[in-house]
Each structure stands twice: as C-alpha cells, then as structure tokens.
Amino acid sequence: MSGDQQDTPERTHIGRYRQIGSALRRHGLGVLWGLLGLDRTFRGARGGAGSALRELTAEAPIHLRAALEELGPTFIKLGQLLSTRSDLLPPAFVTELAKLQDAAPPVPVDLIREVISSELGAPPEQVFASFEDQPLASASIGQAHAATLADGTPVVVKVRRPDAVSLVQTDLEILQNLASRATRTWQFARDVDVVAIVDEFVATIRAELDYLEEGRNAERFARDFKEDPSVIIPRVYWEHTTSRVLTLERMEGMNIADVGALDDAHVDRNLVARRGADIVLKMIFEDRFFHADLHPGNLFIHPDGAIALIDFGMVGVIGEELRGHLSRLFIAMVRGDAELLASALIDVSVTGASVDRLTLRDDLRPFVARYQLRSVRQTPFAPMMADLFTLLRTNRVRLPREMMLLFKALLLIEALAMRLDPDFRLGEALGPYAERLAWERLRASAIAKRLARASIDVGELALDFPSILRRLVDAADTTGIQVHLRAAELEPLVGRAERIGNRLVAGMIGAALISGIGGLVSSDRRWGSWRGTMVGAGLGAIGALGAYLSWTARHRRFH
C-alpha cells in the first residue's frame, strides 16, 4: 500500500485523482490519463487515442503493474481482475498483471482487538481460548489470526481492516467516474463496455467486504462436497462470525505447488492432479457454483491426497442461460462448425461493439480445425484458450465475467495439475463433462424447456411490437429520423402489425392448449374424473381461438 494512501485516510476525491495521475506519469503512463482529458499535456494531442497509445513502450505492462501496486489495494485488485480478461488485454499485460499480490502491511493488533470486541461483544481473550497477535497473513481487505475455540478446535479468525471501507469506497467512486469519462473519449472503452466491467468489479469488491457472504459460500461448497471425503471445506463458526469477522476451521497441509514436500510425504502427485481437476470440473458442470481463485495458496494437500480449500470470497455462478451458451460452444467444437461457434460467441458476448459475424466465422475456421474436440483431449488448454482470446480481441468480442472466471479456474487448475504431473491433459478430464453438457441440450425435456422460453419471448415481442411501431411513428413525426415512409404512411402498417401480433399470440396459445390436451389424453390417472371436463374445456377454447383467427383473416382481407 502506498504511503500517501495510508497517511491520508480522509483524503478528498480531488486529492486522490492527483495521486492517481502522478503515479501514472511517474511510471510513464501519463498518456492514459490524457486519454480521459485529465492532463493538459495530452488533451490536445494530435491523432487521438490511437496516436497517444503508440507512445506506450514495450515495458508498459511492467510500468502498469508498478503503478497499480503503488496506488494500493483497490487498484491491485483491479489489476488482478484485468489479469483474467485475456479477451480484452494482450498477453503481455495479462502475464504481468497476474503477478500482482494482494498483500498489505499488518494492522496493529490493538486495532484488530477493537474490531473483535465491537463485533463479538468481548475481547478476543474472552471469546477464544487462545488468540495469536502475530497475523498469519495480511491483505488489503483484512488479515487472518490463528486462534483456538474453548473446546480446543484450532480456527482462523479473519478480521476486516478498520479502514477498509473508507479506503476502498473513494477509489470505487473514482473508477466509476473514470469509466464513464472513458466511454465519452475513447472508442476502445465503448467497444469493450468499460462501464460494465468497472460495475462488475465494484460489485465484486463490495461482496468481498462482507464476510457473511464468504461464510455462506463456504457452507455451499461444504454441502456440494459432503459425500466426498477427499475434499475438505472448513467449517464456519457462525457464533463467532459477523460481516467484519469470519471464524473458520483451520486447515493444515502442504502447499499444492510444493512438489518436494509432496514427494517427501510420498503423496501420489498424479492422483492429486486428477483430483484437483475433478473438483473444479464438478463445481462448474454439476454444481454450477465454483471457486474462482484457486491459486496455490488456497489449496492444501493432506498426506493421504485429500485436498483442502480455503478463501471463498470470489466465486462464480453458472446460470441456466450461460450453461446453454457453454453447451452450444462445445457442440460447435464437437461438430467442427465455425458458423455455429461464431454464432455462439456472438450470442454470449456482452460487447458494446458491433461484431462482423462473417469475419469471425472465417477467423474461427482454422481454430476449429486445429482444436476440434476429438483432438483437444491431448492438447494443453492454455495455448488453445490463448488462440481463442486473440481471435476474440481481434473481433471485439467480450465475454461475460462469469465465463471468464470459469476459464480462469480451468487455466489455474491445469497449470497446477501439469506442475504435479507433466503428462496431465485437462482435455481428457474435461471431455466427458463437455460431452454430457452438449447431450443435455439435445434431450427432449431440454428442448421443450427452450421452446417454452422462446414462446414466451416471442409472445412478449409480439405484444410489444405494435407499441414499438407507434413509438417509431412518433419519432418520425417529432425528430425527423431518416425513414423513407412518412408517418401517415406508417399508420396502416401499425394497425396491420397489431392484428398480426394478436393473431401470433393467439396461435401460440392454441398450440399450448393442443399440447396440454395431448398430455391429458395420454395421462391415465393423474387428473381422474376431471380429465374429461378439462379436455372439453380445452377443445372449446381451441374452437374459440380458431373462430377468432378466421375472423381476423377475413377482416384483414377487407382492409
């Protein structure tokens, strides 16, 4: 943490802006400040952003890392986030930013004791049988101390730094303001939707400030792996936990990256590599809830090969929509279909820029040919993803945060597994999960669910379409947008669109009724004596809808 930031906790926004600008200029990155119109030296530079960015040297990634380290915890965490965005940044920046460590000078133990007393209602010596004043670790948000419960259970007590919120809040507000400025002055910022990226970062940091959230994450992982004794998740002691203090069972073991210690303990490294990969793949593909920060410091190995996980502040969630996108990506790879892969990537993209589908498809063809799923099992995941990220950057495709966290988790566990077993290939472990996910999408029940969602979407679009056209008419009348029909000429089209929309909705309702009646007829006992009545009512409704559709068709012919 920089001395300035530590010495002036009451700093004003303008003072912090000056610190940021000074740090960037000191490390040869003043051009970035100038792109935002915040530095007179660069405000009038010729050639705009492109010309200014060419002033950056090959050492720019190193200088950026140094500047972020100087600016303190918020910016270190921002750099760590950006190190996962290989779809946005060139490899040199990603590699350098990945070196950022979230460390900070320890908080004096007297201040830590004050937080514990305030949160738990008593000083640590009364809450715990023992409490170590020397911290186990100190980071930007909090620091961890070893302690023992009254029953002798060894625990770790994580305490949020007293100044964490005040230090971080100003920086978050500044980052949001800078993101807004960037979109007004820099095309690249608009293309990647830097405002959304910063908003996601702000939400992530605010969640990390709440230790209750981390405790809930730990409990979720414990439930997901309760049947697997080879995976150890620390217990949360809720009676000693608040939003500012988190008390967890203490995990012991060897660092997963310490190959020498594992060999000395006669641990089967190949088994640990496969087990680590299976843990991550289960989280992603089965539980849909995964640990997004599995670096070596968060994994401990027991002599029997069991793996203990810690630090649950950063997690990813695979929603139904993202799961569908993933399955389409895997299907495209299985089929070697560049057209489908391009469509799937564009559909999942959250970029603010327009994407040329045909160019992306043509760029993907050699990629698909090289990494089709039947051969990807023998290919390291990292070079394949590096090639894909290069294509995404070239075509201005930005993936959602959860998908990038997913890829980060896979890349981290592959790197660790290959360190333990050089012959390990993530593709071999990933293949069965990917194939199951792809086949799930083709199941009848999954197709029916997607059709139901599509019907709702189409119905809502049909209902909204007339009002959209009416707004278009109003816009043509009032703002003179370039439309080659006058407003008066659009009125008949609006009326016709209204009728078409209504008939479309009626048709979908009829289709749903027919499907429902089919289900009732094929059911032998679920609805009992009500079945005949319900079938009759359904047929009556279909008849009424048929009459309505016939009337609207005749009515349309006379207009």
Q: What is the pTM of this model?
A: 0.72
| Residue 156, strand partner residues | 146, 248
Structural contact between residues 143 and 135, judged by C-beta atoms closer than 8 angstroms? yes
Whether residue 211 is predicted with pLDDT greater than 90 in this model: the reply is yes
What are 96's two structure tokens? 């350098």
Dihedral pair phi/psi, residue 307, rounded to 5°: -115, 125
Q: How many CA atoms lie within 13 A of 406 on its CB side?
A: 21
Q: Which residue has the higher pLDDT, 525 or 219?
A: 219
Selecting among 293, 311, 421, 477, the annotated active-site residue is 293
Cα–Cα distance, 282 to 296 (Å, whole number): 19
Delineate the domains of the chain, giving CATH numbers in brackets. Answer: 3-102+167-184 (no CATH), 109-160+210-315 (1.10.510.10), 318-442 (no CATH), 445-557 (no CATH)
Token readout for 77 is: 């965490």
The Cα–Cα gap between 165 and 243 comes to 12
Q: What is the pLDDT of residues 261-281, one digit of tens each?
A: 999 999 999 999 999 999 999
Angle formed at CA 158 by CA 154 and CA 161, multiple of 5 degrees: 155
What's the whole-number mean pLDDT along residues 369-391?
A: 81
In angstroms, rounded to a whole number, what is the distance separating the alpha carbons of residues 411 and 405? 10
Q: What is the pLDDT of residue 59?
A: 85
Q: How far apart are CA 158 and CA 145, in angstroms?
A: 6
| Distance, first Cα to last Cα, the chain | 74
Is 263 a catalytic site residue? no
Number of neighbouring beta carbons within 10 Å of residue 313: 23
Ranges 6-20, 134-148, 170-184, 187-201: which has the least confidence: 6-20
| 137, 301, 429 from 426: Cα distances, Å | 32, 20, 5
CA distance 502 to 465: 10
**CB burial of residue 550 (10 Å; 0-12, 13-18, 19+):** exposed
Check if the beta carbon of residue 17 is closer than 8 Å to that of residue 38: yes
What are the tens digits of pLDDT across the range 329-367?
A: 888 877 788 999 999 999 998 876 678 889 999 999 999
Residues 210 and 246 sit within 8 Å (Cβ to Cβ): no
d(CA 215, CA 39): 44
pLDDT at residue 189, rounded to an integer = 81
